[in-house]
Amino acid sequence: MTARILVVDDVEPNVRLLEAKLTLEYYEVLTAMDGATALEIAAAERPDIILLDVMMPGMDGFETCKRLKADPVTRHIPVVLVTALDGREDKIKGLGAGADDFVTKPIDDVILFARVKSLVRLKAVMDELREREESGRRLGVDADGAGRLRGSGGRVLIVDDNELQAEKMVTHLGGEHRPVVETDPAAALIAGRGPIDLMIVNVSSSGFDGLRFVAQARSSEASRRTPILAVVDPADRPRLLKALELGVNDILPRPVDSEELMARARTQIRRKRYADFLKEKLDYSLEMAVTDALTGLHNRRYMAGQLQAMVGRAAQGGDPVAVLVMDIDHFKVVNDSFGHDAGDEVLREFAVRLATNVRAIDLPCRFGGEEFVVVMPGATLEAASRVADRIRRDIEAQPFPIMGGAEGLTITVSIGVAASIAGDTPEALLKRGDEGVYEAKSQGRNQVISRAA
């Protein structure tokens, strides 16, 4: 997977060396010699990764990273701090500024490329979610779920049979998060199917194969997107690289430093919640794309797609399909006499009564205005007619409350019923149902008319 990488360093030989190494690996490379230029290029070019030197005159790497993460345009770009400093304080400071990872000079090429590939995979997923969410927003579909982004604390599953190390992590995480320890990897995989915000896995465990656990977690649909923080001895390069290759999100070196643990856990949980937030908005957008906003029933677009598939299966010898086409009687009078708000109340109550009188497998839909359609897979004309009459009787049985319940209106409905026949099309089926509605209205309304062909 290729990517566009912005390299930021005030020392030109360092820039050129990194540029050459990355270019050989088929990455597209952008360069900047100071923090201010890096901010401009990042905002204009939107690279996939930023490799940012810490020690620069003027605006150092920490401040540059902080500004990148504060800008909505660039905050989603992963930042890897490149530093000659391997001190604990600098790591904590960098993570606090929003850095996603660190590499130290002299740069280990294998480690660098492994970390870059891991972050590129992560950014590709996040970008896809953000693009789909933005598409929904442009269509006017939005969901309010930002409250979770501001929440503190997370559910952390620690998979470790090193009792002393696990207890230490629980102690440090317990003040902010809700950590639990699982020493058995099989039990941990089951626990990981639950609502977990972060897994911390000791991949250097002597009691179980931590790398195999990571692979199993990543192959499970339930835990595939759960961030994993791998605890590993930094001197064990093969294990560290394999963990990154298998898809862990971050590395926590042994012995575990409490402040670094807290900073890395906080970063991963914050990122997980943002991904969840985007996914929830995407799911909401997809739902709203096929849902009528006023009644909560499926809309005409969804109905058309489902009916097309069912009629096609029926034409090939599959189960038949029936439709109920219905039109609320004298609905224009409701709007003219009581206003459109009262009309909306009637439509919402009609949708409730409709949905409660059809089978679980049926698809009640709002076709448009005061017209509704129910698609009934596997139903014969006779069975559909019985359901239609049940709906008709329930609609007229009780007055519809309007004006907040201050008034009640007697509402009736005319229904046309049609069932699929050989050579049918969705349009022909709906047309027969619509002809039934027209006939019902011409005969005095509040009737069910079945059209066999």
In tens, the pLDDT along 228-255 reads: 999 999 889 999 999 988 989 888 889 9
* Mean predicted confidence (pLDDT) in 367-382: 95
Please check the confidence at residue 140 and state whether its pLDDT lies above 50: no
Q: What is the CATH number of domain 143-283?
A: 3.40.50.2300
Structure tokens at 399: 């007055």
Domain ranges within the chain, ordered by starting residue: 1-138, 143-283, 300-451
CB 59 within 8 A of CB 35: yes
Please check the confidence at residue 326 and state whether its pLDDT lies above 70: yes
Structure tokens at 191: 């626990």
Instruction: List strands edge to edge, sheet with 101-104.
Output: 28-32, 4-8, 49-53, 79-83, 101-104
b/e code 71-98 from CB counts within 10 Å (16+ = b): eeebeebbbbbbbebeeeebbbbbbebb
CB 50 within 8 A of CB 42: yes
The string of pLDDT tens digits covering residues 386-430 is 999 999 999 999 999 998 888 899 999 999 999 999 889 999 999
Please check the confidence at residue 84 and state whether its pLDDT lies above 80: no
The pLDDT-based confidence of 181 (bands split at 50, 70, 90) is very high
Q: What percent of the chain has pLDDT over 90?
A: 62
How far is Cα of residue 294 from the mean position of the Cα atoms in its chain?
24
Please check the confidence at residue 63 and state whether its pLDDT lies above 80: yes
Q: Which of these ranges, 206-215, 287-296, 357-366, has the smallest mean pLDDT?
A: 287-296
* Mean predicted confidence (pLDDT) in 199-203: 96
* Residue in this structure with the two tokens 């409905």, named with its chain if needed: 413
CB 162 within 8 A of CB 200: no
What pLDDT score was predicted for residue 287?
60
CB 364 within 8 A of CB 376: no
The pLDDT-based confidence of 149 (bands split at 50, 70, 90) is very low
Omega before residue 255 within 30° of 0, cis: yes
* Mean predicted confidence (pLDDT) in 342-348: 95
Active-site annotation, residues = 370
Q: The pTM is what?
A: 0.57
| Three-class HEC string of the chain | CCCEEEEECCCHHHHHHHHHHHHHCCCEEEEECCHHHHHHHHHHHCCCEEEEECCCCCCCHHHHHHHHHHCCCCCCCCEEEEECCCCHHHHHHHHHCCCCEEEECCCCHHHHHHHHHHHHHHHHHHHHHHHHHHHHHHCCCCCCCHHHHHCCCCEEEEECCCHHHHHHHHHHHCCCCEEEEECCHHHHHHHCCCCCCEEEEECCCCCCCHHHHHHHHHHCCCCCCCCEEEEECCCCHHHHHHHHHHCCCEEEECCCCHHHHHHHHHHHHHHHHHHHHHHHHHHHHHHHHCECCCCCCECHHHHHHHHHHHHHHHHCCCCCEEEEEEEECCHHHHHHHHCHHHHHHHHHHHHHHHHCCCCCCCEEEEEECCEEEEEEECCCHHHHHHHHHHHHHHHHHCCEEEHHHCEEECCCEEEEEEECCCCCCHHHHHHHHHHHHHHHHHCCCCCEEEECC
CB 435 within 8 A of CB 445: no
* Residue in this structure with the two tokens 């490329």, named with its chain if needed: 113
* Mean predicted confidence (pLDDT) in 60-65: 94
Q: Which CATH superfamily is domain 300-451 in?
A: Reverse transcriptase/Diguanylate cyclase domain (3.30.70.270)
Bridge pairing between strands 198-202 and 155-159: parallel
What pLDDT score was predicted for residue 291?
85
User: Looking at the DSSP assignment, which residues form a beta bridge with residue 250?
Assistant: 229
Omega before residue 106 within 30° of 0, cis: yes
The string of pLDDT tens digits covering residues 33-49 is 999 999 999 999 999 99
What pLDDT score was predicted for residue 135?
52
Nearest by Cα to 174 from 273, 268, 267, 261: 261
User: Looking at the DSSP assignment, which residues form a beta bridge with residue 392?
Assistant: none
User: Looking at the DSSP assignment, which residues form a beta bridge with residue 321?
Assistant: 377
Structure tokens at 77: 């770009």
CB 409 within 8 A of CB 399: yes
CB 119 within 8 A of CB 247: no
The string of pLDDT tens digits covering residues 9-27 is 999 999 999 999 999 988 9
CA–CA dist 424, 437 (Å, integer):
19
CB 9 within 8 A of CB 38: no
Structure tokens at 239: 């294990």
Query: 1-138, which class in CATH?
Result: alpha beta
CB 172 within 8 A of CB 258: yes
Do the domains at 1-138 and 143-283 have one common CATH topology? yes
CB 248 within 8 A of CB 101: no
Q: What CA dihedral angle connects 207, 210, 216 and 222, to 10 degrees?
A: 100
